[in-house]
Amino acid sequence: MNIHTPQTEDIELDLLVEAIYRKYHYDFRDYSAASLKRRLLQAREHFHCQTFSALQERVMHDTDLLPKLLGYLTIQVSEMFRDPTFFRALREQVVPHLRTYPSLKVWVAGCSAGEELYSLAILFREEGLEERTMFYATDINTTALRKAEAGVYDLDRIALFTANHQKSGGKSSLSDYYTAAYGAAVFDKSLRKRTVFSDHTLASDAVFAEVHLVCCRNVLIYFNRELQDRAVGLFKDSLVRRGFLGLGAKESLHFSAHAADFAELNREERLYQKRA
């Protein structure tokens, strides 16, 4: 079935993505093409370029443009205890297994500005697991990683975070973990003393540790099927036998090449366990 013949714009778009990869090593070639195109169209408009070729010309010769363009190319929507029922299921179904290990490693892949990392750190503290755990929080967006390391969020997001935390089965008050100052909530730095933040891409980097839990939520939907398979393959190789994988609310291993290597622990909450 050949409904589509390539238009000039499609050729230019492919070349732009290729150019970003060749020059800056950010590899968007295997992202979901339809939403990538939308975001690049928005970027093109923002940078007042008539064509993708013009945008390519600018990004090739103006290195300051890249961080801004990355802001368009990666989606940074997040919240603490996002989908509270996921975190509740984590407490109820995963934590009991994790308790049986003397030391733990957790990988938060695609951590954005850190909302998910702090949620997990709080949950692990509440469950008495924090002291035995190392967290790895990784992302390709270095601006987001810097925010994650700072742990400062607008105060007007805290009501939502607090409600989510309660619904997740929170055993303490979220206000125990931050101080409010000048319209911002500054999270306690002790929450991240066991965390390594690092620039890591699921598109081309390798496994770096053996971990017991991978949380990679709302990242895979931006990848095409091949890149999803690569990423899930990394998680599989990184996880210990019977280790756990948590995905986003609309992500699953349903269409994954690795589906058979995982058991569904909680279908609704997208929690998986690597088979032995």
Ligand X SMILES: C[S@@+](CC[C@H](N)C(=O)[O-])C[C@H]1O[C@@H](n2cnc3c(N)ncnc32)[C@H](O)[C@@H]1O
Asked if 75 interacts with other proteins (CB under 8 A), we say yes
Q: Which stretch binds ligand X (CB under 6 A): 89-97, 105-113, 120-128, 189-197?
A: 105-113
23 versus 37: smaller Cβ distance to other proteins: 37
SS3 letters for 62-124? Answer: CCCHHHHHHHHHCCCCCCCCCCHHHHHHHHHHHHHHHCCCCCEEEEEECCCCCHHHHHHHHHH
Asked if 150 interacts with ligand X (CB under 6 A), we say no
**Phi then psi dihedrals of residue 196, to 5 deg:** -105, 120
The binder of other proteins chosen from 23, 29, 37, 58 (CB under 8 A): 37
* CA 270/CA 197 separation, integer angstroms: 25
Token pair belonging to 25? 């090593």
Which helix (H) or strand (E) is 273 found in, with range? strand 271-274
59 versus 247: smaller Cβ distance to ligand X: 247
Asked if 221 interacts with other proteins (CB under 8 A), we say yes
Across 110-234, the runs of DSSP E, i.e. the strands, are 133-139, 152-154, 178-181, 184-187, 195-199, 211-216
Q: Which stretch binds ligand X (CB under 6 A): 11-19, 123-131, 212-220, 265-273?
A: 212-220
Placement of tokens 């949950």 in the chain: 123
95 versus 245: smaller Cβ distance to other proteins: 245
The binder of other proteins chosen from 86, 107, 222, 244 (CB under 8 A): 222
Asked if 267 interacts with other proteins (CB under 8 A), we say no
Instruction: Give the number of other CB atoms < 10 A from CB of residue 196.
Output: 13
* CA 227/CA 84 separation, integer angstroms: 28
Closest alpha carbon to 171 in 128, 126, 124: 126
Placement of tokens 């299921």 in the chain: 89
Placement of tokens 């999270």 in the chain: 187
73 versus 213: smaller Cβ distance to other proteins: 73
Asked if 142 interacts with ligand X (CB under 6 A), we say no
Token pair belonging to 202? 């699921």
Instruction: Give the number of other CB atoms < 10 A from CB of residue 11.
Output: 12
Asked if 119 interacts with ligand X (CB under 6 A), we say no
Asked if 51 interacts with other proteins (CB under 8 A), we say no
Name the minimum Å distance from CB 35 to ligand X: 12
Asked if 85 interacts with ligand X (CB under 6 A), we say no
Asked if 30 interacts with other proteins (CB under 8 A), we say no
Asked if 85 interacts with other proteins (CB under 8 A), we say no
DSSP-assigned letter for residue 218: S
* CA 180/CA 276 separation, integer angstroms: 46
The binder of other proteins chosen from 224, 257, 258, 266 (CB under 8 A): 224
Asked if 112 interacts with ligand X (CB under 6 A), we say yes
Q: Which stretch binds other proteins (CB under 8 A): 33-41, 46-54, 109-117, 185-193?
A: 33-41
- Where do contacts with ligand X occur on this chain (CB under 6 A)? 74-78, 82, 109-112, 115-116, 139-141, 144, 201-203, 217-219, 222, 248
- Where do contacts with other proteins occur on this chain (CB under 8 A)? 1, 3-4, 32-35, 37-39, 75, 77, 218, 220-222, 224-225, 228, 250-252, 254-255
